Amino acid sequence: MSGERPLEQARDARFVVAERWSEMANLPADHPESRREFLHRQMNEEVNGLEISVRNLADFPDAPWLLRMQIARQCADEARHVEAFRRAFERRGGRVGEYPVLNFQFRILMKIDSLVGRLAVQNRSFEAAGIDAISHEIRGPQVSGEGDLAALFDAQLADEVQHVRYANEWVKRLLADGGPRALMAVARATAAATRELQSVAGAALSYYPVEEGIRAEAGFDDAEIAFAKSLVPGEHR
């Protein structure tokens, strides 16, 4: 990885940046602003995804060209998601910076000094959990009549599946090429990310049911899907 870079990214004066989940708005589901706050939070999470992908390109210039192309495509996808969530948020009367934001993903990922470790944590873990969440959210807006969000989540899901799939393919290649050292890098990155995520979220850490079919489409095998299910309360079977 080239040079020392900050673990925190910049946000302009409109934003209040929280350090822990407990510092967020955390509105109850039946609050009239709950959906709007969710969209603002999701918009910022997509900015995190873009910033992480950009840093992966900058920090690992010697990565295989085909992998760099896929990371670049992810940058474009994440930028499109940011704009889509902003439009949906502002359509509902939102003002950018109206609610606190949390940049834990960027902070966690920038502590990982290997590309294989970052792909394992960001794409195969965080974004894999994201495809479970998106699948759940798609059903919500369709029921409540928010057709614009159903379309947004459907398009986002297609992109996120691809982000997880390419990481699954490349993590396996990089592990095969890197041997025990690469395997240890993934193990260290995953363990450290899990600890920090638990610290940030605290008792608010929650899981969506594992979407087996979509995870399979994203390149997880049966054993990996079973392991993911074993981590979710109520999914042990």
Exposure of 4 by Cβ count < 10 A (0-12 exposed, 13-18 middle, 19+ buried)? exposed
Phi and psi at residue 18, to the nearest 5°: -85, 160
* Separation between Cα atoms, residue 186 and residue 180, nearest integer Å: 10
84's tokens = 């889509």
- Domains of the chain as residue ranges with CATH: 17-230 (1.20.1260)
Decide if 125 contacts 190 (C-beta within 8 A). Answer: yes
pLDDT in tens, the chain (237 residues): 545 555 667 899 999 999 999 999 999 989 999 999 999 999 999 999 999 999 999 999 999 999 999 999 999 999 999 999 999 999 999 999 999 999 999 999 999 999 999 999 999 999 999 999 888 777 766 656 788 898 999 999 999 999 999 999 999 999 999 999 999 999 999 999 999 998 998 877 778 889 999 999 999 999 999 989 988 877 654
* Separation between Cα atoms, residue 31 and residue 2, nearest integer Å: 46
Global pTM reads 0.90
